Amino acid sequence: MKITKICCIGAGYVGGPSCAVIAHKCPDVTVTVVDLSQERIDQWNSDNLPIFEPGLEEVVKSCRGKNLFFSTEIDKTIIEAELIIISVNTPTKTYGLGKGRAADLKYIESAARKIAEVSTSSKVVVEKSTVPVKAAESVNNILSANHKHGVRYQVLSNPEFLAEGTAISDLLFPDRVLIGGPQTPEGREAIDALSWVYQHWIPMEKIITMNTWSSELSKLAANAFLAQRISSINAMSAICEATGADVSEVSHAIGTDTRIGARFLQASIGFGGSCFQKDVLNLVYLSECLNLPEVAAYWQQVIEMNEYQKRRFANRIISALFNTVANKKIAIFGFAFKKDTADTRETPSLYICKYLMEEAALVSIYDPKVDHKQIVSDLTDPAVSDKETVDKLVTITTDPYEAAKGAHAIVICTEWDEFKTYNYQRIYDSMLKPAFIFDGRMILDHQSLLELGYHVETVGRRLVRNSVNRLQAMPK
Ligand code: NAI
């Protein structure tokens, strides 16, 4: 089977960058990314791409209009392609059965129905979206129940492991590519066809093939393990704060054990992003449906710990500011869920703002990449606050010095590199005293800040200034 044309359904954080890299690396293949949203497609075709990722613009510009296209002509693109990648969103359900936990598969289903409706030749259908185990079977059932004479489908699972903020390098140099598919001659042929695409730039030994259900579960398992490491180190950070141990030292000590490894051991105000919470909840729901309540409870605790960490950090801010933040200006540095992205889905910063607003604090938000409209839209979500409260309590600035001017405290919510480079003397001079910094990402030089006169609080470590201004962990 020769692949000359690929159609990707869904021009989001995954579909856009992953297909741009495929087109960039496979000049012999035409890749068209389609979406229902005309606005999104127009942005992909403009100089102002809809998402920010380091290196993305260069990759898109290198092949857009040559073998990479963005279009709303969904039917035509499906008809022409031999291989169709489904990369639509699979958010947590907000209604009905499984509300708040199960993955909402309505976008996957409608993409599958569209493929079945318009296809006039056989296709390899690749499920790239993150889905519950056995979703490929549902896609297959929809396709085969609606297939036309002579049209056959092979459904593969090819989950995406990119991380936002490093998407392009993750796609260019992945740890592995995972392809799951039916263990039949036709299934193997489809796996080989997709594998051929990746082999343009990825060594064979990094392309792992397996059965479909293992592949689907592996994606949920990978995200659950990563989220669990963050919740585990955050649980340790609470013990550190209560005892005088230092979570950075604990992380270093355990991370040097090769069985544990050093990555994903950074304590913080909690994980965010569109995937971790959604995928762990998905696993919890799946376990419950499989009548495995102990397994469900085990993974649910990863989410509980994350909630606890966000709430605990907000409580520390309130208690350090003499148990009241009402009418106090508090500068929030960072609104994106992590650095190098403008994505705010499930960002911990939003929860910190919410908790502070519930205490009537005046929050002044600065983020280098997230635009004003997005911040207002997140804050006015009914689960967070309302327009009247936001108008009264929130200001959004494009200047961090302005955000901190006249503030009682600065709260670092995102680990943007530029936060490390500011003139903290100038900021200190413009703040009310005592001036507080709550470093929720452990990125600043705490010793220097203490020397400037700041009161510094961070995660997993209690700081005091002694008589010679040396930083010390506080004894109990
Ligand atoms: P997204 O929300 O950014 O993009 C999805 C796009 O699909 C939207 O533009 C939407 O308009 C479009 N769409 C939905 N239904 C459609 C249909 N029937 N026809 C055409 N277009 C349709 O979502 P994102 O972040 O790209 O995620 C996609 C999938 O990849 C999800 O399952 C997610 O869990 C998974 N994933 C996401 C990662 C991330 O970092 N964002 C990383 C790895 C996996």
CB-CB neighbours of 41 under 10 Å = 20
Provide the number of structural domains found in the chain.
2
- Burial class from Cβ neighbours inside 10 Å (0-12, 13-18, 19+) for residue 360 reads middle
Q: How far is CA 52 from CA 17, 314, 370, 394, in A?
A: 10, 29, 10, 25
CA distance 157 to 191: 9
199 and 217 assigned to the same domain = no
CA atoms of 343 and 378, how far apart (whole Å): 11
- Residues 436-462 have a mean pLDDT of 96
Confidence at residue 463, expressed as pLDDT on a 0 to 100 scale: 77
Residues 57 and 204 in one domain: yes
What is the residue whose two structure tokens read 């991380």? 163
Is 60 exceeded by the pLDDT of residue 471? no
* Active-site hit among 7, 63, 240, 275: 275
Please identify, by atom number, the ligand 1 atom nearest to the C-alpha of residue 13.
26
Alpha-carbon span 459 to 245, nearest angstrom: 11
Task: Note whether 165 and 132 are within 8 A (CB).
Answer: no
Residues 157 and 142 grouped into a single domain: yes
Q: Place 462 in a pLDDT band, splitting at 50, 70 and 90.
A: confident
Strands (DSSP E) contained in 187-339 are: 207-210, 329-333
Determine the distance separating the centroid of ligand 1 and the alpha carbon of 209, expressed in angstroms: 23
pLDDT at site 182: 96
Record the tokens describing residue 236, joined without a space.
């340790």
d(CA 427, CA 163): 33
Other C-beta atoms within 10 Å of 384: how many? 16
**Which residue did the predictor score with more confidence, 149 or 455?**
455
Judge whether residue 470 has pLDDT over 50: no
| pLDDT computed for residue 420 by the predictor | 98
Compute the distance from residue 387 Cα to the ligand 1 centre, in Å: 28
The rounded Å distance from CA 112 to ligand 1 centre is 14
Same domain, 225 and 205: no
Q: Do 188 and 227 reside in the same domain of the chain? A: no
Judge whether residue 212 has pLDDT over 70: yes
| Substitution site in 90, 274, 344 for ligand 1 pocket (most atoms within 8 Å of beta carbon) | 274
Letter string b/e over residues 295-325, b meaning 16 or more CB atoms within 10 A of that residue's CB: ebeebbbbbebbebbbebbbebbbebbeeeb
Residue 467 pLDDT more than 50? no
Res 476 pLDDT > 80: no
Q: Please tell me the distance from the alpha carbon of residue 130 to that of residue 48, in angstroms, as a whole number.
A: 27
The pair phi, psi for residue 363, each rounded to 5°, is -95, 135
Is this complex scored with an ipTM above 0.95?
A: yes
| Contact criterion met (CB below 8 Å) for 441 and 247 | no
Q: Out of 187, 210, 233, pick the residue that ends a domain.
A: 210
| 158 and 223 housed in the same domain | no
Band of pLDDT at residue 444, cut at 50, 70 and 90? very high
Q: Are residues 226 and 199 in the same domain?
A: no
How much is the mean pLDDT over the chain?
A: 95
Give the residue, by CA position, lying nearest to ligand 1 atom 32. Answer: 129
- Average pLDDT score over residue span 456-460: 96
Task: Identify the domain boundary among 194, 210, 226.
Answer: 210
Q: Which helix (H) or strand (E) holds 186?
A: helix 185-198
pLDDT tens per residue across span 319-337: 999 999 999 999 999 999 9
Confidence of residue 464 (pLDDT cuts 50, 70, 90): low
Q: What CA–CA distance (Å, rounded) separates 72 from 77? A: 9
Query: What is the rounded distance in angstroms from the CA atom of residue 260 to the CA atom of residue 158?
Result: 27
Query: pLDDT by residue (tens digit) across 390-434?
Result: 999 999 999 999 999 999 999 999 999 999 999 999 999 999 999
- Domain hosting 328: range is 212-476
Taking residues 41-55, report their average pLDDT.
96
Residue with tokens 């000049």: 27
Q: Distance between CA atoms of 20 and 100, rounded to whole angstroms?
A: 33
In this structure, are 133 and 216 located in the same domain? Answer: no
Q: How far is the CA of 213 from the centre of ligand 1 (A)?
A: 21
Annotated binding site for NAD(+): 10-15, 35, 40, 88-92, 129-130, 164, 275-278, 345
Look at residue 165 in the predicted model and tell me its pLDDT: 94
The domain boundary residue, chosen from 154, 188, 210: 210
Nearest-CA neighbor of 332 among 359, 354, 305? 354
Q: Examine the domain organization and report whether 313 and 386 are in the same domain.
A: yes
What are the tokens at 131? 């889905």
Which of 106-115, 192-201, 463-472 is predicted least confidently? 463-472
Query: E strands along 35-194, which residues?
Result: 68-71, 83-86, 123-127, 153-157, 177-180
Enumerate helices (H) and strands (E) in the chain, giving the number of each: 18, 16
Nearest CA to ligand 1 atom 2: 89
Mean pLDDT score, 90-109? 94
Task: Give the whole-angstrom CA distance, residue 79 versus residue 115.
Answer: 8
| Residue set of the binding site | 10-15, 35, 40, 88-92, 129-130, 164, 275-278, 345
Distance (Å) from CA 110 to ligand 1 centroid: 13
Q: Are 110 and 194 contained in the same domain?
A: yes
Query: The domain spanning residue 231 has which CATH number?
Result: 3.40.50.720
Pocket of ligand 1 (CB under 6 A): 9-15, 34-37, 40, 74, 87-90, 107, 110-111, 129-130, 160, 162, 164, 274-275
Nearest residue (CA) to ligand 1, atom 44: 160
Query: By alpha-carbon position, which residue is closest to atom 29 of ligand 1?
Result: 129
Can you give the pLDDT at residue 465? 53
Q: Which atom of ligand 1 is nearest to the CA of 131?
A: 32
State how far the Cα of 271 lies from the Cα of 276, in Å rounded to an integer.
8
Give the distance (Å) from ligand 1 centre to CA of residue 78: 17
Judgement on whether residues 449 and 415 belong to the same structural domain of the protein: yes
- What are the helix (H) ranges across 45-122? 56-63, 74-80, 106-118
Mutate to test the pocket of ligand 1, among 21, 35, 341 (most ligand atoms within 8 A of CB): 35
Co-location of 199 and 220 in the same domain: no
Tens-place pLDDT, residues 76-90:
999 999 999 999 999
**275 counts as catalytic:** yes
Please name the amino acid found at residue 247: V
Q: Given a cut of 60, is residue 472 above it in pLDDT? A: no
